[in-house]
A and B are shown apart, each in its own frame.
Chain A
């Protein structure tokens, strides 16, 4: 079945450094890739997304890149701040008609002050 692999599972960076989280999806028909940030005790918050007709998208300190050939997509956070500490989930759209996202297993990011 479809799956999304996400790495690393935990990531610690110093404040001000960059963080990169990588996901690989299995279904070549996937064409929408959202990223969610989930803080402790809260629901997932959409932080950025990308569609398959675009290779890169940026929003201030956050960027997402997509390589359709390799079926990889990555989240890049620059100039990390302590408030970036959270669990990040990538997701890929499942086949048409299913309404489902296939979620990655999550990355716990810790930004050390």
Chain B
């Protein structure tokens, strides 16, 4: 089973709202990722968690706040977003081989949350 689930599927929010995206996997993967994908573009990496610790923040604005409560869950807290933040937000996970996450680990993506900021 290589399933990553994400909720909600769709989210519409105003610029003053606070919302959260959720991601879950039960494959025993110890690396989890958030990506942002605009229409007709490849996914762009935002954050990487390895063993529940933030390993990479790709210079993402502070209005996006990730959280990894345990090895199966990943959240993305949203606050004071801008209309240009509207996109498909993808979660992915990968097995950590050799005790350290690596770009040679296979990443499995969830279905995404379609976010619209009004």
Stretch of A14-22, A63-71, A73-81, A94-102 with 4 or more beta carbons under 8 angstroms from chain B? A94-102
For B82-118 the 0/1 string (1 means CB < 8 A from A) is: 0000001010000000000111101111111010000
Q: How far in angstroms is the closest Cβ of chain B from A24?
A: 15
Most chain B CB neighbours (cut-off 10 Å) among A49, A51, A98, A105: A98
Q: Which residues of B contact A51 (CB under 8 A)?
A: 104
Chain B CB within 10 Å, residue with most, of A34, A94, A103, A105: A103
Contact size range, A: 20 to 34
Range of interface residues on chain B?
Answer: 20 to 34
For chains A and B in complex, what number of residue pairs have CB atoms within 8 angstroms?
Answer: 66
Q: Does B42 contact A (CB under 8 A)?
A: yes
Chain A residue at smallest Cβ distance from B114: A41
A105, B42: Cβ atoms under 8 Å? Answer: yes
A96 to B104 Cα, complex, angstroms? 8
Q: Is the CB of A100 within 8 A of B103?
A: yes
- Are the CB atoms of B50 and A99 closer together than 8 Å? yes
Q: From residue A50, how far is it (CB to closest CB) to chain B in Å?
A: 11
The 3 closest A-B pairs by CB, nearest first: A103-B42, A93-B103, A32-B104
| Apart from A44-B109, A46-B107, A105-B41, 7 more pairs, CB < 8 Å | A43-B4, A43-B88, A43-B112, A99-B48, A100-B103, A103-B42, A106-B41
Q: List 25 A-B contacts (CB under 8 A).
A: A31-B104, A34-B106, A41-B114, A42-B111, A43-B109, A43-B111, A43-B112, A44-B90, A49-B106, A93-B104, A94-B103, A95-B103, A98-B103, A99-B31, A99-B50, A99-B101, A99-B102, A99-B103, A100-B45, A101-B103, A103-B42, A103-B43, A104-B42, A105-B41, A106-B41
